[in-house]
Amino acid sequence: MSLSMYEVSVPLFIHNFNILSRILLKAEKDAEKRKIDKAVFINARLAPDMFPLTKQIQIGTDMVRLGIGRLAGIKAPSFKDNEVTFSDLQKRIQKTIIFLNKIKSKQMEGSELKKIEFSIRRRDFKFKNGHLYLSNWIIPHFFFHMTTTYDILRANGVNLGKSDFVKM
């Protein structure tokens, strides 16, 4: 029996968004405990030419929400990129999870063969099928932004470990 596109994506993303939410909560509590302005973490970046933590969350949620919407053949909700607090970021993650929970396996049937084309700014992207789009674009991008969020917080002294990132 083969796994469906739904089975290898939606539950994976929901599970990991919940982990990301817990990581952010731990970071917020750490800032309070150490009496650090929470904006320090929110605006932190790993390198000067990288996006700050807020943008990592925004891109990660966009990548999944818009990608799963394309695969399911539905219009994903649009979010404003106006988050400035941990609470704002938590709400964005929860709205993404709510959207994912509305997706039904049947909506993604056949999407592994579906040609995917879209534009971001002035760049066009073309994937010959949904399987490649999911495995080579959505999943790697999501984990890049999740890992970068973790790394930003870890670099700023938040006591995070592998067990915070990999949860059963």
Q: What digits encode the pLDDT tens for the residues 31-81?
A: 999 999 999 999 999 999 999 999 999 999 999 999 999 999 999 999 999
Q: Kindly state whether residue 2 falls inside one of the protein's structural domains.
A: no
Report d(CA 134, CA 138) in Å as an integer.
Answer: 5
Domain count, the chain: 1
pTM: 0.95
Q: What is the CATH number of the domain that holds 94?
A: 1.20.120.450
Nearest CA among 96, 95, 26, 24 for reference residue 54: 24
pLDDT of the residue at 117:
93
Contacts of 60 (CB under 8 A, 6+ apart): 20, 141, 142, 145, 146, 149
Q: 3-class SS at 86?
A: helix
Q: Kindly state whether residue 126 falls inside one of the protein's structural domains.
A: yes
Owner of token pair 């995917």: 116
Q: Kindly state whether residue 1 falls inside one of the protein's structural domains.
A: no
Helix axes 139-155, 53-72, angle to 10 degrees: 160
Q: Kindly state whether residue 4 falls inside one of the protein's structural domains.
A: no
Residues of the domain holding 78? 10-165
Q: Kindly state whether residue 22 falls inside one of the protein's structural domains.
A: yes
Q: 3-class SS at 11?
A: helix
